[in-house]
Amino acid sequence: MKYLICFYFLSFNISLYAQNIKFYDAGKEIKSLKLDVMKKNFKVHTIEVYDQVLHNMKRYKAFSTNEVFTKIYGNSWKNKEEIEFTCADGYKPSFDSSILNKGSSYLAFSYVL
């Protein structure tokens, strides 16, 4: 099973490229990264996800959460009760890492046409 966590850097909106993705530990910011820095430091994957609303496959460019979170939090992220970060659009997801340990998961940043 694949899990997709979208943080939107819309390619037509250049101002979003200046925004940072912020990572937190116990509510405290520990790291902030821009998309261009993430592209240089993490492998970009093209993934396919089934859209259950439109009933078709969607393709996204994304980073592996395993790779990103290991770099940010170390291996301890796999046992954390709460993983928290702020997306470029301001959305601030928070979830138990056990969800991500059940299958492949990705941080999507771009829709592939």
Contact 52, 37 (CB under 8 A): no
Domain count, the chain: 1
Model pLDDT for residues 55-84, shown as the tens digit of each residue: 889 998 999 988 999 999 998 888 888 888
Q: Residue 92: which pLDDT band, with cuts at 50, 70 and 90? A: confident
- What's the domain range around 64? 2-112
pTM of the model as a whole: 0.77
Model pLDDT for residues 35-60, shown as the tens digit of each residue: 889 999 999 999 988 888 888 899 98
Direct distance between the N- and C-terminal alpha carbons of the chain, in angstroms, rounded to an integer: 23
